[in-house]
Amino acid sequence: MQSETLGRLDRRTLLKGAATLIVAAVTPTTVFGVNGAWAATPANLDADTFATLVQMSRDTYPHDQIDDSFYAKAVAGLDDAAGKDAAVKQMLTDGVAALNKAAQGLKASDYRSLSSEDERVALLKAMETDPFFQKVRGNLVTGLYNNQDMWKVLGYEGESASKGGYINRGFNDIDWL
């Protein structure tokens, strides 16, 4: 009797499944990190482009102690720029497509599926003079390092001028070098 029930689909199960599918279809695409540690809903870039830019960001400025959510927040700035300027959106989309094509030359389906960080970095080094790479790199300088939450993780105390400078505040007390 139980095996017969498992094979049948009752009306309630069908309706619940259909409702879930409808909600999933109308909900904006959310990009989840590799281990679910971060989530972002890009407004202007597609989910794959956004996730590839997050991986590219980590490969460009690697910090093992920094969570992917910081990189996703920095890439959100690129997503905003893509919404304001169609040329930026096209540059980012084309740049990610070029990265994916280069990864396919290494027998991977796309850039993110390359398991070796060294392979991903080699692809980035090959395109470091490209305007796409420079746009992403430039965004990361401010997107990552102007984030005061990240300062805490890195052990940076912030600017010193408002506190009288570093010379009288223990300029040599950093323990992470």
Q: What angle do CA 145, 31, 33 make, to 5 degrees?
A: 65
Model confidence pLDDT, tens digit, residues 31-46? 555 444 456 789 999 9
pTM: 0.72
Q: Kindly state the tokens that stand for 24.
A: 């999933």
pLDDT on residue 8: 54
117-169 residue pLDDT tens: 999 999 999 999 999 999 999 999 999 999 998 988 888 877 777 877 777 66
User: In this structure, are residues 143 and 73 in contact, taking their beta carbons and an 8 Å threshold?
Assistant: yes
Helix, strand, coil % over all residues of the chain, rounded to 5: 60, 0, 35
